[in-house]
Amino acid sequence: MHRINPRSSIKIPAMKNKVPIENSPKPILKKLTDSCVSHPMISIGLYVCAVSLFFFIFPGADIWSSGLFYSEVFGFWAKNMAFLRDVRYLGIFLVQVVATTCVAVFVLKLLIPDRPPLMPLRQPLFLLSTLVLGPGVLVNLILKDNWGRPRPQHVAEFGGDLPYQTVWKVTDYCDRNCSFVSGEASSAIWLTSVAFLVPATWRKATLLFVLPLCFILSLNRIAFGGHFLSDTLISWGVTLLLSFAVFHLLFQRTRPIVSDRSLDEWMTALGRFMQLSFQRLRRR
């Protein structure tokens, strides 16, 4: 009689079991997650487009979300709560702490040019450049000062005298520091830039602290009647997109636009020049 190899008999059901596993939602979700991680800039760009399209199709979502914090008697009642005002300033304080620390690293390098810097100089350069270019230039100077979208507290639906405007629509209802997009939501999501730089073992812990804080700070602005939900969600996207772009240029390119060594050498030369110039001034 022909003997059946027991190993071959095991392979048949194993192959059958692979079909539902491959078609199950879990591997598909994992592939989607891996794709987002591998191509973050494309993913964030698609996110901004999807959020923008959603609020184009359903503009009432903005009115509904802001209406959760509005009362015809008290207006946007959350802005009268001292605790929530303190939470708002916590975000501003944390941004100032990170920015001041970065500036201090550069200043100390200039004052003591022959000593190694406190950290690789691309790190404070990354944080300062993304803060200036993201919340500073892109959000506040370009979008907020030119799109003219009225804030929730100024539109007719919430006791104001201006009409609601959809996302990305340029109007003249507001001259500067307007609703689109949220500056403080941009600064809040910018704090996640710290997670780009910490060791991998600290990254999850950093994000577990920063992301809920970002959500609370951003929600605060909606609750205060300062921004619509769309202002916040799009602000997160454009700020993250810029942060990833700068991170790619500084750290991920095969040939980064600048290295820690070249920055160190340039700062050392500048610090020595400043010291010599100061000594010459003292001799006069």
Give the pLDDT means over successive 10-residue stretches in the chain (284 positions). 44 47 63 76 96 97 97 93 91 96 97 94 98 97 96 96 96 94 97 95 94 96 97 98 96 93 96 91 81
Q: Per the domain annotation, does 231 fall within a domain?
A: yes
Q: Per the domain annotation, does 197 fall within a domain?
A: yes
End-to-end CA distance of the chain: give it in Å, rounded.
111
Q: Per the domain annotation, does 45 fall within a domain?
A: yes
pTM (2 decimals)? 0.86
Task: Tell me which residue range forms the domain holding 255.
Answer: 41-283
- The residues, ordered by sequence, that sit 6+ positions from 255 with a Cβ below 8 Å of its Cβ are none
Residue carrying the six token digits 């700020």: 239
**How many domains is the chain built from?**
1
Q: Per the domain annotation, does 107 fall within a domain?
A: yes
Per-residue confidence (pLDDT) for residue 10, from 0 to 100 = 42
Q: Per the domain annotation, does 16 fall within a domain?
A: no
Per-residue confidence (pLDDT) for residue 31, from 0 to 100 = 74
Per-residue confidence (pLDDT) for residue 23, from 0 to 100 = 54
Per-residue confidence (pLDDT) for residue 107, from 0 to 100 = 97
Q: Per the domain annotation, does 87 fall within a domain?
A: yes
Residue carrying the six token digits 């993304």: 130
Per-residue confidence (pLDDT) for residue 164, from 0 to 100 = 97
Is residue 117 within 8 Å of residue 105, measured between CB atoms? yes
CATH code for position 96? 1.20.144
Q: Per the domain annotation, does 13 fall within a domain?
A: no
